[in-house]
Amino acid sequence: MTSSPTHPELSVVIPMYNEEKVLPLLVERLRPVLDGLRSTDGLPTRYEVVAVDDGSRDLTAALLHRFRREWPQLRVVRLRANAGHQAAISAGIRAADGDYVVTLDADLQDPPEVIEAMLAVAKRDQVDVVYGVRADRSTDTWFKRTTASAFYAVQSKLSGMDTAGNAGDFRMMSRATVEAINQIPEHNRVLRFVVPTLGFPSAHVEYKRESRAAGDSKYPLTKMILLSLDSIVSTSQKPLRWATWLGVGGFFAAMLFLVYALIGRLTGHTVTGWASTLAVIALFGGFQLLCLGILGEYLGRMYLFLQDRPTYYIAYDSKTDSDHSPWAQ
């Protein structure tokens, strides 16, 4: 692996959106962990923290700037507008320089102490990916747990992937893995379902998911549903197949109904059947809308992909253009 005196061994990528409440707690807990890391030669591990400010509109940016004055390893990558959790992670790992890159949430749900174990496992077992697996989700709300486990059940059935239902985005990756991810042009990618398909040797470390240390979730139900749709559409074509089968089934049902209607006409029973006619119209209208919706989900993503606009825009990176930082003095 490449090594130069300034080259970090470890990059810690943290996406954050309006996290002013949790930021001081995060710095207080993360810094001692990272300062305490030792490399095989016994020297402190060189690290950088890549805080990706996902277009926050609260004091996150100003606080980051303040923390940076006393913490040289803290690097700030600010996105011009809110691009969303997955895009913010992508921006962070693309910017990261470390031999190993770990991504974690800002809200301390992923305990920073686990990073040490992940690094140890990566080096000891010579694996490229170490997944943080939630051994215990009891601190998540009942609603979150139930919807998450239902979603992961559907997702793994559809994609045929053994997606570790309890692995989120707390994960350590080698430089080779990061380079491989950076080459994937896919938009709307959900990294937790992309990384396992890359085929790198992996291991996992279990941890207890904590509750959010401060502030509110930035994942309302609408964003959760969108993430689920992105996950399913990007890993499976089965919904399209269903649309086909529904169409085939609907066609045969319609043929049968036609025969029934013709017989009715020929035998003079034409007045009754009003309710069944309505039911059939409603049923087929529903089928058609459903199939159009499924097609639309795929088509819309293809359209976005063909437009090929970046999924995020970097306003500044304190590593290269600290002079352009709005807070430069």
Taking alpha carbons only, the member of 77, 24, 26, 75 closest to residue 53 is 77
Distance, in Å, from the CA atom of 282 to the CA atom of 285, rounded to the nearest integer, reads 5
19 binds, among ligand UDP, Mg ion, none (CB under 5 to 8 A by kind): ligand UDP
- Residue 272 DSSP class: S
3-class state of residue 305 by DSSP: helix
20 binds, among ligand UDP, Mg ion, none (CB under 5 to 8 A by kind): none
227 binds, among ligand UDP, Mg ion, none (CB under 5 to 8 A by kind): none
> Closer CB to Mg ion, residue 134 or residue 204?
134
> Closer CB to ligand UDP, residue 88 or residue 127?
88
Nearest distance from residue 97's CB to ligand UDP, in Å? 20
Neighbouring-strand partners of residue 204: 131
Residue of the chain from 9, 48, 54, 107 that contacts Mg ion (CB under 5 A): 107
219 binds, among Mg ion, ligand UDP, none (CB under 5 to 8 A by kind): ligand UDP
The yes or no reply on residue 109 touching Mg ion (CB under 5 A) is yes
Nearest distance from residue 108's CB to Mg ion, in Å? 8
Taking alpha carbons only, the member of 131, 199, 196 closest to residue 168 is 131
Nearest distance from residue 288's CB to ligand UDP, in Å? 34
Task: Provide the H-helix boundaries in the chain.
Answer: 23-35, 60-70, 85-95, 114-124, 142-159, 175-182, 191-194, 221-235, 238-266, 274-307
Dihedral over alpha carbons 183, 188, 190, 194 (to 10 degrees): -30
**Which range touches Mg ion (CB under 5 A), out of 103-111, 147-155, 171-179, 186-194?**
103-111
Nearest distance from residue 224's CB to Mg ion, in Å? 12
Nearest distance from residue 61's CB to Mg ion, in Å? 20
Identify whether the C-beta of residue 264 lies closer than 8 Å to the C-beta of residue 270.
Answer: yes
> Closer CB to ligand UDP, residue 54 or residue 317?
54
Nearest distance from residue 243's CB to ligand UDP, in Å? 30
Query: Count of alpha carbons within 13 Å of 135, Cβ hemisphere only?
Result: 7
Identify whether the C-beta of residue 68 lies closer than 8 Å to the C-beta of residue 322.
Answer: no
Identify whether the C-beta of residue 53 lies closer than 8 Å to the C-beta of residue 77.
Answer: yes
Exposure string of 17-46, with b = 16+ CB inside 10 Å and e = fewer, is bbbbbbbebbbeebbebbeebeeeeeeebb
**Which range touches Mg ion (CB under 5 A), out of 105-113, 184-192, 277-285, 314-322?**
105-113
Binding track, positions 60-99, relative to Mg ion; x by CB under 5 A: ----------------------------------------
What's CA 319's distance to the chain center, in Å? 25
How far are the Cα atoms of 59, 151, 243 from residue 155, in angstroms, in the given order?
A: 37, 6, 17
> Closer CB to ligand UDP, residue 19 or residue 48?
19
> Closer CB to ligand UDP, residue 145 or residue 241?
145
106 binds, among Mg ion, ligand UDP, none (CB under 5 to 8 A by kind): ligand UDP
Binding stretches for ligand UDP (CB under 6 A): 15-17, 19, 54, 82, 84-85, 88, 105-107, 109, 212, 217-219
> Closer CB to Mg ion, residue 109 or residue 318?
109
88 binds, among Mg ion, ligand UDP, none (CB under 5 to 8 A by kind): ligand UDP
Task: Please report, as ranges, the residues that interact with Mg ion according to CB under 5 A.
Answer: 105, 107, 109
